[in-house]
Structure 1
């Protein structure tokens, strides 16, 4: 893509802003045409329009369909993928349609929000794969690039194993081998609060709370 080593390192490093707990409930810009976030980020029409979002890729476990769903079908173009957040779930066969959806939006000058319930495991796994292909990065650099913008991501181990051995990784590593070896860029985003970002139990509680809050909201509106 005609990008220098310094530009690539700066791209992976990200904006370097401090991370606070409340940021996990908002979406972050990963690329100019690609945003990543949780369910909450898909629920504010005003926010989505202010970000220039035109397309929304909604990734959910089938049992979350009552809450994680298209909310503004007249305002945005949606794609919904039912994906189980388990180590046995095959992501590789689902990824091409997700990539095509994002690329089609970008070709038309659009911007895509990719979200799941918590924006922690499901949607980040797809975005890491997308970034890896888009910039021909190693899986490590792609993960760092996404995490340097949304610190709380933590794709499950099965997803990461698939990403490491996927055809996309092989193609990226082949491309990378033609470039000079560079110092590995590591995640440097600092947490403003030493909270529980890596605490799986709290992560699950956050997911459940999101769904409960959403169910209560829908009940009040019905």
Structure 2
């Protein structure tokens, strides 16, 4: 983890560097077994990640307290990978091609807003694609990155240490890296006092007026 990212998280979450490393490392007492890839795992409080198989079992979903589901699928999977229980859960369905050329960054804000609102309401969100290996994990890594103000590598490790089988394809990894600079730039703009921006703009306008008078 770079020092800047560590400082950001410590400031936001009140964590020491040791606590932050423990957070990324995740629970150390979990023995990963192959069949666990067919289950879902809690990535952060209120956010679960898994395969489509989990979303087909109403008792399983209810037992985990799921209230919202993000269904991410390739368009050609729409006949099978689809919301199964719309009367029980709030769904967001995203048609996303599982290829290295697919633009995830453009689609991510809708998913992030949906997850944020659900958790803020006290809900629990399951994010799934067909296998829970590449497509849905890419979205969750970006969410964790921005939620905890992490670097892309730390966010990837954070999610991998909770769902060991994830492996976003090369194109998705490239976009995850790109998203780090995007969210940091957005944060920088948001942290810049609006009043200061107004004053700066007025100063530029005054300078322009003086130039015109000359």
TM-score by length of 1: 0.75
Distance 1:109 1:168 in 2: 30
Distance 2:179 2:43 in 1: 21
Q: Is the 8 A contact 1:139 1:169 kept in 2?
A: no
TM-aligned CA deviation for residue 167 of structure 1 = 5.2
Which of 49, 52, 57 aligns to 1:44? It is 57
Distance 2:19 2:44 in 1: 14
Matches within 5 A, 1:147-186: 147-166=160-179, 171=184
Which of 44, 63, 74 aligns to 2:87? It is 74
Distance 1:14 1:167 in 2: 21
Structure 1 segments of 4 or more deviating over 4 A? Answer: 167-170
Q: Is the 8 A contact 1:129 1:168 kept in 2?
A: no
**Counterpart secondary structure, 2:123:** coil
Greater shift after overlay, 72-81 or 43-52?
Answer: 43-52
Q: Could you tell me which residue of structure 1 aligns to residue 26 of structure 2?
A: 14
Cα RMSD of the aligned pairs, angstroms, is 1.5
Give deviations 1:147-197, integer Å, cap 9, x for gaps: 00111101010011011122556618x99xxxxxxxxxxxxxxxxxxxxxx
Q: Could you tell me which residue of structure 2 aligns to residue 207 of structure 1?
A: none
Q: Could you tell me which residue of structure 2 aligns to residue 203 of structure 1?
A: none
Matches within 5 A, 1:89-108: 89-108=102-121
Report the structure number with the largest CA radius of gyration. Answer: 2
Aligned residues: 174
Stretches of structure 2 lacking an aligned partner (at least 5 in a row): 1-11, 189-214
Quickly say closer, same or farther: Cα 1:168–1:133, change in 2 above 3 A: farther
Query: Are positions 1:3 and 2:8 aligned together?
Result: no
Distance 1:167 1:140 in 2: 10
TM-aligned CA deviation for residue 4 of structure 1 = 2.1
Q: Could you tell me which residue of structure 2 aligns to residue 199 of structure 1?
A: none
Distance 2:139 2:171 in 1: 13
TM-aligned CA deviation for residue 13 of structure 1 = 0.5
**Counterpart secondary structure, 2:48:** strand
Give deviations 1:84-116, integer Å, cap 9, x for gaps: 011110000100000000000011000100000
Q: Is the 8 A contact 2:151 2:180 kept in 1?
A: no
Q: Which one has the bigger helix percentage? A: 2
Distance 1:53 1:156 in 2: 28
